[in-house]
Structure 1
Amino acid sequence: MKPQGPVGLRRDAEKVAGALPPLLAEAEVLAATVAMGVHGRRRAGHGENFWQYRQAVPGDARSMVDWRRSGRSDQQFIREMEWEAAQTVSFWVDDALSMDYRGSDDALARSKAERGRLLALALSVLLISGGERVALMGTAAQQPRGGRTQLNKMALALAGAEREDRPDYGAPPPDRLPRGGRAIFFSDFLGDLDAYLPALGHAADQGVRGCFVQVLDETEETFPFDGRVVFESMGGETEFETQRARALREAYVRRLAEQRARIDDLARGLGWRVLRHLTSQPPRTALLWLYMAVGERI
């Protein structure tokens, strides 16, 4: 597939936006706002396409010198080819009940699940346009592939009917990850993190590098509640009533910090990175960060 630049991707997104499923159409438009095309991910390596000349440095073998180019100056130049091996990026988007939470009644407010699905699909659009392969763990699109068909499968899986047996908090499925690939997990990471250990242990065995994307609602970050409040889990199994919600803020902030510290420890042990994103923040910033992180091999 011939990679597209940002202008081509934007035109394609605008041209077909009305015909696509809403989630995929939105992801295409979002991807177009940050698209850098294949040039943003180019690097030297094994391949057939010329990339650039660079000046020779101590340690370069004489066989690497391009004598035709070097003959036109007083310097010796190395002819570098473009790295062409496709990278595989596996996504997990938590579909647990806790991800349905949104702290605002505004019709435009997004739940954590909606924001995670949008970022995962928009990043997949960018990666596939750059020649990479993507997969969505726990779905029919779990086999890494490139191309439009894979995007359609992912969009259908992400926008499809919700499972009836969803738990309050999720954990990555036991899918096998490609050796040496990349993985990005979208979740609120508010449940028991021990549930993540089997999947993370497999990722470590396979040499998979990746990123945790913690998606939270702004109210979960700031805890703005005051007075009488009834807190209820998204599944309705847990309920707690208090007359002085503000008095709980300090303890809540401390518990959230402890949970985040545990996430950071897990990431550090795996060589992964952590991105924290609020649904009130523009998705473009998070998408650009993730795209660059994958380009840097996370």
Structure 2
Amino acid sequence: MAALGATPPLTDSQAALLRARERAALIPDLLIEARRVVATVTTGWHGRRRRGTGENFWQFRPFVEGESVAGIDWRRSARDDSLYLRDKEWEAAQTVWLWADGSPSMQYCSKLALVSKESRALVLALALAEVLSRAGERVGFPGVLNPVSARNAAERIAAALTRHRPEGDMPDGQIRRFSELVMISDFLDPLDKVLRTTSHLAQRGVSGHLISVYDPAEEDFPYAGRTEFRDPETGARLLSGRADSLREQYRQLYFARRDELSRHCQRLGWSFLTHRTDHPASQALVHIHGRLSGGTFFNGYGG
């Protein structure tokens, strides 16, 4: 029986409804923050520049045996002893899916960070939607908004998220072949599940980019003395009398897990980026924009 005057604990459905209302209230502010981030980093940026079938010249690159000689630029090749191909810029609009994890673990925010992982993930997703829609790409959010080609794609996604914010696994049935997918999460699900999901998507011809968002406390493990840890997904609890004694082993396992996920993405031909919530969102946006724009393959740690 609850004590007199005490607030009874929330049921699972009541807690989920409360989280949904809190998220909906935050979305307008997150959209404003996303646009501010875009404004600070996009000066001089152009659309996504990738080799393709357009008409505009993009770059010269060395000829590789097995490629069609029809693409050789003989005038450029005559300048030295090498053969060069004349690449054209990709001009067809592409479908880019953006997904920000809505699971309970994403709500974590330690004293070392200013924002939760979920808030940062949503800001990055909305900022990417803003940038990509300006470039004429079709942008969608699985389970929230089907791909649209519109300048206000970020606003549409934000509006849809205020009405419905799915939790748990990404609904990947919508992701079609030749699409690009940006997954923003802490990726703290069982590792075999993450590897299985990404492998399945890659086998279907999806090009993927993972942004692993984490709180600085999750990397640094600044705990000491008697500390209780609680799993936000299952409610499981662990009481440690000397939390600092766990630090070295924890960090070894944490970084080993991250390295395995990075290597897995590299095997798939996907990019992998890590981002701390105590660092500016603009850092991650610059890195992922470079990857989406067809820049040098990036697989590592962004900050």
Which interval holds the TM-score relative to the shorter structure?
0.7 to 0.9
The 10-residue stretch of structure 1 (130-139 or 53-62) with the greater mean CA deviation from structure 2:
53-62
The 3 A distance-change label for structure 1 pair 62 and 137 is closer
* 1:241 paired to 2:239: yes
Specify the alignment match of 1:123 in structure 2: 128
Stretch of structure 1 that moved more, 252-261 or 179-188: 252-261
Q: Secondary structure at the match of 1:210?
A: strand
**Once the two structures are aligned, what percentage of the paired residues are identical?**
35
- Paired position in structure 2 for 1:178: 176
- TM-score w.r.t. the length of structure 1 is 0.75
Kindly provide the CA deviation profile for residues 143-178 of structure 1, in whole angstroms up to 9, marking residues without a partner as x: 222214532231124455656xx5xxx433232312
Distance in 2 between the 1:81 and 1:105 partners? Answer: 46
Aligned positions of 1:172-251 closer than 5 A: 172-197=170-195, 199-235=197-233, 237-251=235-249
Tell me the residue number matched to 2:287. 289
- Specify which of 21, 33, 45 is matched with residue 28 of structure 2: 21
Q: Which runs of 5+ in 2 are unaligned?
A: 1-26, 76-84, 298-303
Q: Could you tell me how far apart the structure 2 residues matched to 1:81 and 1:195 are?
A: 39
The whole-number CA distance in structure 2 between the counterparts of 1:118 and 1:104 is 20
Which residue identity is paired with 1:27?
A
Q: Residues of 2 paired with 1:144 and 1:213: CA distance?
A: 20
Q: Is the 8 A contact 1:214 1:277 kept in 2?
A: yes
Which deviates more from structure 2 when the two are superposed, residues 221-230 or residues 129-138? 129-138
Q: After superposing the two structures, state which structure 1 stretch, 53-62 or 194-203, moved more.
A: 53-62
Q: Please say if residues 176 and 202 of structure 1, whose CA atoms lie closer than 8 Å, have aligned partners that are also in contact.
A: no
Q: Residues 88 and 247 from structure 1, CA distance in 2 versus in 1: closer, same or farther, beyond 3 angstroms?
A: same
Aligned length: 259
In the alignment, which residue of structure 2 is the partner of 1:72?
A: none
In 2, are the aligned partners of 1:204 and 1:270 still within 8 Å (CA)?
yes
Does the 8 Å CA contact 1:94/1:172 hold for their aligned counterparts? yes
CA distance in 2, matches of 1:53, 1:225: 52
Q: Pairwise mapping of residues 65-76 of structure 1 onto structure 2 (< 5 A)?
A: none
Q: Which residue of 2 aligns with 1:272?
A: 270
* Distance verdict in 2 for CA 1:84–1:230, change over 3 Å: same
Cα pair 2:184 2:210 within 8 Å, conserved = yes
Give the CA RMSD over aligned residues.
Answer: 3.3
What is the DSSP-based 3-state SS (H/G/I as helix, E as strand, rest coil) of the residue aligned with 2:273? Answer: strand
Using the alignment, how far apart are the partners of 2:187 and 2:173 within structure 1? Answer: 19
CA 1:41–1:189 in structure 2 vs 1: closer, same or farther (change >3 Å)? same
